[in-house]
Amino acid sequence: MDLICPAGNLPALKTAIDHGASAVYIGFRDQTNARAFAGLNFSEDDMRQGIDYAHAHARKVYVALNTYPTSAHIRTWQNAVDRAAALDVDAIICADLGVLDYATRRHPDLPRHLSVQASATTHAALRYYRERFGIARAVMPRVLSLQQVERLCKRQVVPIEVFAFGSLCIMVEGRCQLSSYVTGVSPNRHGVCSPAKFVRWDEEPGGVRSVHLNNVLIDRYQAHEPAGYPTVCKGRYKIGDEIFHALEEPTSLNTLSLLPMLKAVGVAALKIEGRQRGLAYVGAVTRVWRQAIDQLEAQPNAAGDPAWQHELDAHAEGHQTTLGPYHRSWH
Amino acid sequence: MQLTLGPLQYFWHRDDVFKFYREAVQWPLDTIYLGETVCSKRRELGTRDWIALANELAESGHEIVLSSLALLEAESELSALTRLAENGRLRVEANDMSAVQILRERKLPFIGGPGLNVYNHVALRLLREDGMQRLVLGIELGRELLREFKDSGEPLPEFEVIAWGRLPLAYSARCYTARALDRSKDDCGFRCIDYPDGLPLKTREGSPFLTINGIQIQGGEYCDLAPDIAELQTAGIQLLRLYPQANDMAAVVARFRKTIDSGLPAQRVGLENGYWHGQAGRQQMPGDEVPDSAQAIISA
């Protein structure tokens, strides 16, 4: 099973390789990928160095080109495909039909992975992308239960990659417009969810802090409460007379306890979320998952090291973790 | 300009559904979409019931379209989708790529629903090759992107836009109605039937924000493009979609029909759709306050 790790810059890429990533996924410094954050991502020179570093260690680099261009700007995405091909990356990760079509025609030998942003959740949808674009792998949205992942793997339409750890999109990826409803900026078009420039923190009496996103109150925290980033889906809202996390708590996905089952059902690759996270996160999370995968392959019946869970919890958003959609009770 | 009735997004009692659609064929509509698009657990009408009702409505002479589920996970949902595709008579609205594939495999022409991600003319071209004859614009597609489609010089399908109702914003594996009522999804008790226009979600200060509808999240407000019909027509929109609501739907349809037929601009009743102007979806333009007199046809 491959371990696919995030890198928002060259040091993070090297850290991920040093700690055991099978492949690292990265993006150009523009809107062509779904983590288009200021100060993040790779210049062409950094990308070349990173690819050399990975290839020298017999590892791979994937480039995410997984946002949706409009007609007026599609050339930018097509150029990005050309640049990735010229840099000899090992695969590109795409969602848009237009980008996939261009890559398939222009660079047939460059492997194409279907991004989670394409929202393909069934073997019928996967057949579409395989028949039209010859995709080599597909990343599954975080909506499927373990049993549904197993059924998809058994169909063998394409090898399946699933999210193993990191921040949790609660909505099916590529089909969520909560951010653009509030800010006009969307993961699909702009590669950003609930962008920081729309966030406003206010101090209120008694140490209370409130946070607005483009003037919509997302949450309010008492002095003793830890405050989270105000993505729309993780705020507290009022339904009837009750105020609670109506959509999702600020929590991270952690499937470490499901690892033997993910392997048994035939998952080809595990993805770690977090290109926006720092070196400490990338290093620790990559190392723990590498150790867990290696131990599972060497001694399938051995219990995992309890320290692994503690380490992952320490790096989880809100320091809480969940098995997410893989486990029925989450639904 | 044609008027369409979008698929019912909420969960209603079986008798109410039949009553609604048997009235709807009397309204001045061109097209009626029907079918379960949100949650396959909603079984007041099963797939066969929807197909039978659609065939019955087709006798009225309206164009009838069967709408498919927006988010598919289970094998049973794919089987239901296949039954819809193989109904033998009526076109299907494909609301995800599973539906596109099942329809193209059978060489059946289809309508692309607002759940498909179509942001550029190449995606449009590929889906036209697949059999797409009409596209209901995804909510993020405003007038600027529509102009880009036209400027590309590609042959275009028909375009339909959501002109009335709450915007569908997101789908999840989780059921938020069940969550709000502290029930698990597997034991949801089908309680969304108690909220025939969805469950309002407000900010902590009590301002309307979103609407919960099972696994779907909608905008909190009704969007209303009736005052913009002339502009929509110029932009290349051929069909206006009106989403069903529990009360006063006949009045909603009549208002749009009157506006189209008279050629006179309508007074805004719901809120403007910011997406159409390239803004945030809930962004309001100056002068957009909803007059009190309008509340009559906004039943929530």
Domains belonging to chain B, first-starting first, are 2-167+222-287 (3.20.20.70)
Contact status, residue B279 vs residue B272, Cβ threshold 8 Å: no
**Average pLDDT of span A60-88:** 97
What is the crossing angle of helices B121-130 and A97-106, to 10°?
Answer: 90
Please tell me the predicted confidence (pLDDT) of residue A330: 79
**Average pLDDT of span A282-297:** 97
User: Which residues, in sequence order, are bridge partners of residue A26?
Assistant: A63
Instruction: Count other Cβ atoms within 10 Å, centred on residue A184.
Output: 23
Amino acid identity at B275: Y
Which residues, 6+ apart, have CB-to-CB distance to A305 below 8 Å? Answer: A291, A295
Check pLDDT > 50 for residue A122.
Answer: yes
Which sequence spans correspond to the domains of chain A? 2-168+251-330, 178-244
Contact status, residue B128 vs residue B155, Cβ threshold 8 Å: yes
Q: Which residues, numbered 149 to 168 in chain A, qualify as contacts with chain B under a Cβ-Cβ cut-off of 8 Å?
A: 151
Position B186 confidence tier, pLDDT thresholds 50, 70, 90? confident
The CA distance from B236 to B243, in Å, is: 21
Strand-pair category, A112-114 with A91-94: parallel
Taking an 8 Å cut-off on Cβ atoms, the answer to whether B170 and A96 are in contact is: no
pLDDT in tens, B213-242: 999 999 999 999 999 999 999 999 999 999
Whether chain B has a CB inside 8 Å of the CB on A178: the answer is yes
The CA distance from B80 to B171, in Å, is: 19
Which residues, 6+ apart, have CB-to-CB distance to A255 below 8 Å? Answer: A162, A163, A164, A165, A262, A270, A323, A324, A326
Contact status, residue A317 vs residue A228, Cβ threshold 8 Å: yes
**What 3 state SS string does B53-122 have?**
HHHHHHCCCCEEEEECCCCCCCHHHHHHHHHHHCCCCCEEEECCHHHHHHHHHCCCCEEECCCCCCCCHH
What is the crossing angle of helices B97-105 and B75-85, to 10°?
Answer: 50
Contact status, residue B139 vs residue A140, Cβ threshold 8 Å: no
- Token output for A143: 């909506």
Average pLDDT of chain B, as a whole number: 94
Of A88-97, A164-173, B118-127, where does mean pLDDT reach its minimum? A164-173
Whether chain B has a CB inside 8 Å of the CB on A174: the answer is yes
Give the domain A2-168+251-330 fold.
TIM Barrel (3.20.20)
From B97, B115, B201, residue closest to A120, measured CB to CB:
B97
- Across the A:B interface, residue pairs with CB atoms under 8 Å apart total 212
pLDDT in tens, B74-91: 999 999 999 999 999 999
Whether chain B has a CB inside 8 Å of the CB on A74: the answer is yes
DSSP B278: T
Question: Could you tell me what percent of chain B has a pLDDT over 70?
Answer: 95
Please tell me the predicted confidence (pLDDT) of residue B297: 63
**Positive or negative torsion for Cα B80, B42, B203, B268:** positive
Q: Which residues of B touch A70 (CB under 8 A)?
A: 119-120, 145, 148
- Token output for A295: 């131990």
Sheet (strand A216-221) strand order: A199-203, A209-213, A216-221
- Token output for A258: 């499901």
From A127, A172, A247, residue closest to B71, measured CB to CB:
A172
Question: Could you tell me what percent of chain A has a pLDDT over 90?
Answer: 87
Burial class (CB within 10 angstroms; exposed 0-12, middle 13-18, buried 19+) of A48: middle
Residue A102 to residues A68, A88, A286, B119, B199, Cα–Cα distance (Å): 13, 17, 33, 15, 43
Interface test with A, best of B204, B213, B273 (most A CBs within 10 A): B204
Please tell me the predicted confidence (pLDDT) of residue B288: 56
Residue B190 to residues B10, B140, B243, Cα–Cα distance (Å): 12, 31, 22
Q: How far is A75 from chain B (nearest CA, A)?
A: 11
pLDDT in tens, A226-269: 898 999 999 999 999 999 999 998 888 999 999 999 999 999 99
**Positive or negative torsion for Cα A141, A199, B118, B103:** positive
Q: Which residues of A touch B201 (CB under 8 A)?
A: 237-239, 246
Q: Comparing C-alpha atoms, which of A106, A114, A148, A107 is closest to residue A130?
A: A114
From A98, A220, A233, residue closest to B123, measured CB to CB:
A98
Taking an 8 Å cut-off on Cβ atoms, the answer to whether A176 and B170 are in contact is: yes
Taking an 8 Å cut-off on Cβ atoms, the answer to whether A71 and B121 are in contact is: yes
Higher pLDDT, A314 or A294: A294
The CA distance from A62 to A27, in Å, is: 8
Average pLDDT of chain A, as a whole number: 95
Whether chain B has a CB inside 8 Å of the CB on A328: the answer is yes
Interface test with A, best of B79, B176, B217, B223 (most A CBs within 10 A): B217
Helix, strand or coil for residue A273? coil
Contact status, residue A293 vs residue A32, Cβ threshold 8 Å: no
The CA distance from B115 to A119, in Å, is: 10
Position A39 confidence tier, pLDDT thresholds 50, 70, 90? confident
Position B13 confidence tier, pLDDT thresholds 50, 70, 90? very high
Q: How many CA atoms lie within 13 A of B268 on its CB side?
A: 16
Q: How far is B122 from chain A (nearest CA, A)?
A: 5
Interface test with B, best of A181, A209, A219, A327 (most B CBs within 10 A): A181
- Token output for A250: 């600020």
Whether chain B has a CB inside 8 Å of the CB on A66: the answer is no
Q: Which residues of A touch B167 (CB under 8 A)?
A: 177, 181
The CA distance from A206 to A252, in Å, is: 30
Check pLDDT > 80 for residue A318.
Answer: no
Q: Which residues of A touch B74 (CB under 8 A)?
A: 148
Which residues, 6+ apart, have CB-to-CB distance to A73 below 8 Å? Answer: none
Q: Which residues of A touch B199 (CB under 8 A)?
A: 239
pLDDT in tens, B253-275: 999 999 999 999 899 888 889 99
Check pLDDT > 90 for residue B293.
Answer: no
- Token output for A236: 């507290």
The CA distance from B24 to B241, in Å, is: 14
Please tell me the predicted confidence (pLDDT) of residue A317: 73
Taking an 8 Å cut-off on Cβ atoms, the answer to whether B176 and A329 are in contact is: no
Residue of A nearest to B211 (CA): A239
The CA distance from A248 to A251, in Å, is: 8
Q: Comparing C-alpha atoms, which of B207, B227, B230, B213 is closest to residue B282?
A: B207
What is the Cα Rg of chain B in Å?
18
- Token output for B297: 């046809």
The CA distance from A241 to B47, in Å, is: 37
DSSP code string of B187-200: G-TTGGGG-TT-EE
Phi, psi of B233 (to 5 degrees): -65, -45
Whether chain B has a CB inside 8 Å of the CB on A138: the answer is no
DSSP A317: G
DSSP code string of A162-180: EEEEEE---BPTTS--HHH
Whether chain B has a CB inside 8 Å of the CB on A124: the answer is yes
Q: How far is B24 from chain A (nearest CA, A)?
A: 30
Q: Comparing C-alpha atoms, which of A45, A92, A260, A238 is closest to residue A164?
A: A260
Phi, psi of B9 (to 5 degrees): -90, -20
Taking an 8 Å cut-off on Cβ atoms, the answer to whether A122 and B72 are in contact is: yes
Please tell me the predicted confidence (pLDDT) of residue B300: 42
Please tell me the predicted confidence (pLDDT) of residue B286: 63
**Average pLDDT of span B163-183:** 96
What is the H or E stretch that residue B17 is in? helix B14-24
